[in-house]
Amino acid sequence: MALTLHSSTSFIKSKDNRSSRTSDDFTSAISFSQMKQPSSQQRAKNSTHEAPTFSGRRNLFIFRRMNELGEKLHGMTVPHSHSHDNLRVPVFVMLPLDTISLGGALNKPRAMLASLMALKSAGVEGVMVDVWWGLVEKDGPLKYNWEGYTELIKMVKKIGLKLQVVMSFHQCGGNVGDSCTIPLPPWVLEEISKNPDLVYTDKSGRRNPEYISLGCDSLAVLRGRTPIQVYSDFMRSFRKRFKDYIGDVVVEVQVGMGPCGELRYPSYPESNGTWRFPGIGEFQCYDKYMRASLAAAAEAIGKDDWGQQGPHDAGQYNQFPEDTGFFRRDGTWNSEYGQFFMEWYSGKLLDHGEKMLNAANKIFQGTGAKLSGKVAGIHWHYKTRSHAAELTAGYYNTRHRDGYLPIARMMAKHGVVLNFTCMEMRDGEQPNEANCSPEGLVRQVKMATKLAGTELAGENALERYDGGAFSQVLATSRSDSGNALSAFTYLRMNKRLFEAENWRNLVEFVKSMSEGGRSTRLPDSDRVGTDLYVGFIKQNNVRKESEAALV
């Protein structure tokens, strides 16, 4: 299906007609489709490592002309009115995970500049970047290196884009989609080596170095500071360094609160094949700090034996709910003990979010930047009674209980935007065996944010370029059921995004979102038949080239 664009920003075929160029002439000036197409494994490996490059004098000339014409066409086709602004959903694009190098410098600045210019000409509002704790505070406690981020922020401002920054207090690497490795700061890893209980632990004693356990949030375990103090000092340093940009260029600060920057436990770790979709995952409450908290909670209600360990019948990472005593239809999850455990486990996660957002609010209050927090879109086993995969991640959401309303209310209390994933996914694209319902989950979260009175923003969970995915985001962005989206962040900028058809789809999507999601000319389905779920291979599946991963 061909798409007709009303923008000059599609990089398709180049014409050498210099006398009278139309918008169609400029829509195809620079094409990435001429490059040799990598294999699916190479794509996954390289997707976040390289920004597209625009080489040659002629291409650079055309690129500048595309920008000029693009601004004119956007001005003509998207009138600015009060009603339009109320409907408009700004679109941001995530930058590569390794935008800043391990040495702290901006990676490939010339390529980045060209890519940002292209996004600007497409009508994109801005970009999102991870601000890695493991890079900035790498050289020692309170020793911050902001140089690479300074160069990026100046570049973003010069082009006229806005910036969402993620305070990324987690490790990059270990999950599918993590194509580079950025560990926690070396001095933090030294403390972990001396005290392994600083990180989340499962019932088998397996340690997860992605994020510091929330069990020690208020304990001075990091060279005289608590983790909350360390995170606060980091954010305070960011505010001080970029005070002239926050509120103007830096319009949103997303507070990382767990693995992948999400408010959750690392219950489904991809590293070393520990977990595979659609496994239920495992509870992460076996470090000594979490165990002490559980014991205290049980003692407080006179049930000491309930505090000795987590559920004994909760199964293993890759089992299904009905394979376990805890998660099966009428399992232990619905008993008095199960309710006690889940209230404690999910309550600890909420307390962690409360502490993080309270600290961030004090630091960024009055700067003009929005605060946001990210919640994972765990859609597998959503149709079952226990919602097992959500429970192990810390979301106490079952057939009988809304687990997202307490999270939304906590965020509303601090004026924080709830950022939610899997906005692009459809129930019909998922394997029947996994009992998925991303659409039902999104509807529930939209209603929870509406009831709580907090804004809702969205992301796509998987790396998608097809019109079907964009159409689904357009549908979920509207306020027909619960909250409409206040913003959408697209995952992720890489070479594939700039291939001809993918770029056409993005440009049309951005334009439709600028019109409140009502004007869509994108296809209603994924025409390429990609696998749209994480690491799951159906029997007789002959299309393995595009397995996707949650982010």
The residues annotated as belonging to the active site are 262, 459
Contacts of 486 (CB under 8 A, 6+ apart): 89, 417, 455, 456, 457
User: 233 labelled as ligand-binding?
Assistant: no
Q: What Å distances lie between residue 408 and 85, 374, 419, 450, CA to CA?
A: 25, 11, 10, 9
| Buried/exposed 165-195: b ≥16 CB within 10 Å, e otherwise | bbbbbbbbbbbbbbbeebbbbeebbebbeee
Query: CA 462 to CA 429: how far, in whole Å?
Result: 12
Within its chain, how far is the Cα of 293 from the centroid? 30
170 annotated ligand-binding residue: yes
Residue 389, marked binder = no
Q: 421: annotated binding-site residue? A: yes
* 3-state class (DSSP) for residue 444: helix
Neighbours of 520 (CB within 10 A): 19
CB 382 within 8 A of CB 281: no
b (16+ CB within 10 A) / e for 472-509: bbbbbbbeeebbbbbbbbbbbbbbbbbbbbbbbbbbbb
Between the CA of residue 261 and those of 228, 281, 308, 446, what are the distances in Å? 15, 18, 30, 20
Residue with tokens 């999950």: 175
Determine whether the annotation assigns residue 427 to a binding site: no
Is 492 among the annotated ligand-binding positions? yes
Residues 353 and 373: their CA atoms lie apart, in Å, by: 9
Confirm or deny that 434 is annotated as ligand binding: no
Residue 505: half-sphere exposure toward Cβ, Cα within 13 Å: 26
DSSP class of 166: E
Q: Which residues are annotated binding-site positions?
A: 130, 170, 178, 374, 379, 421, 460-461, 492
Q: Which residues are annotated binding-site positions for substrate?
A: 130, 170, 178, 374, 379, 421, 460-461, 492
